[in-house]
Amino acid sequence: MAADTGAARPDPADVAGRVRAAPRADAHLVNQYYTLCIPFYREFLGDHWHTGWYDAQAPIGPNDQLRMEAVIARSARLGPGSEVLDVGCGVGGPACHLAATTGARVRGLTPNDDQLAIARASAARRQLQDRVQFDLGDAGRLPYPDASFDAVLFFESACHFPDRERFFAEAWRVLRPGGRLAGEDWVAGTAVPVPQQKHWNRLIATTWAIPELDTIHGYVQGMQRAGFADVAGRDLREETALLRGFLVDPQVRRQVEAERAAEPDPVRALIMEGLLVLGEAASLGAFTVGRFLAHKPA
C-alpha cells in the first residue's frame, strides 16, 4: 500500500460504492477505506485488528487477539534486544503489546496518516516511545536499509497489499541473515470447487477492499520465490477454534443483518455486510486464516 498524504477526507458513500464495484482495489482505495473504517474497527476490535487465537470453551474477548500476537511472537523468537518490523501496523496495538511483553524494539509501518497519529499517541500514552516507533510508508518499498531487522511481522495486512510478491522480497531485504518473517493473514479456502472459490473471493474482496485473496500455498510459494527457506503455512482451523471468531451462528447472523439493513453509515454497513460474507464463506470452507513462518538463510 502506498502512503497517501494530504488528501481531503474521503466521502463514505463514494468509497463504499467503489469498494463494491472495483474489480481490484488499488492502494489509494484501500487507504481511503482504512481512513473511514478506523472508528468502526476500534469499536469491534479495539486496537488489535486481527483474528484471535480462540479457545473452544472460553468466552470470546480481547485476550484472544493478544494470544494470537503471542503465538506469532514466539514463532519469530522475539525477545529483549530484538529489532522488529510490523508491516501494516494499523493503529499500533500489536506493536505496543509486543514491545511491552517481549522487550523487543518494534517499528510499525502504515501508509495511513490517521492510523499513524493514533499509533504514536498510543505509544506515548503507554510510555513506550523508547521501544516503539511508527513510520509512514509502503509495504512494497520499505523505507529501511538492508539487514535492519531480526523479524518482520504481519497481522492480516498483507491481504491488502497490491503486490504481495514485492512485500515478500522487501521483507527478505530488510531482514538480517537468520531473521524470520512471521504472521497471519486472510486467505482463500480450498474446501470448495474452484468456481465457488472464485465467487467467494470476489465477494470478500468487494466488501473488504482486498485486491485479491491468495491461498496458503500461494503465500508459501511467494515467500520461497523471494528467497526464504523453511517456509511453513498452517491453516488456523487446525490450531485454534477459528470459526468462533466469525459470524456463523444463524441467530447472530439474523441480528447483524437486521442492524446492517438499518445502518445509515455506508462504511459501517459495508463492514457488517463483510462480516456476514466472511462468516458464510468460513462455514463453507471457502475462506480461512493462515499462519506463516519463514527464515532468511544465515
Q: Are 25 and 15 in contact (CB under 8 A)?
A: no
Report how far residue 24's alpha carbon sits from residue 4's, in angstroms, rounded to the nearest whole number. Answer: 18
- 69 labelled catalytic: no
Beta-bridge mates of residue 233: 292
Classify residue 81 by its DSSP letter: T
Per-residue 3-state assignment (H helix, E strand, C coil) for 117-159: HHHHHHHHHCCCCCCEEEEECECCECCCCCCCEEEEEEECCHH
Main-chain phi, psi angles of 147, to 5 degrees: 55, 50
Query: How many Å apart are CA 31 and CA 40, to the nearest integer?
Result: 15
Catalytic residue among 69, 83, 156, 239: 156
What distance in Å separates the CA atoms of residue 287 and residue 186, rounded to the nearest whole number?
A: 8
Please list the active-site residues: 156
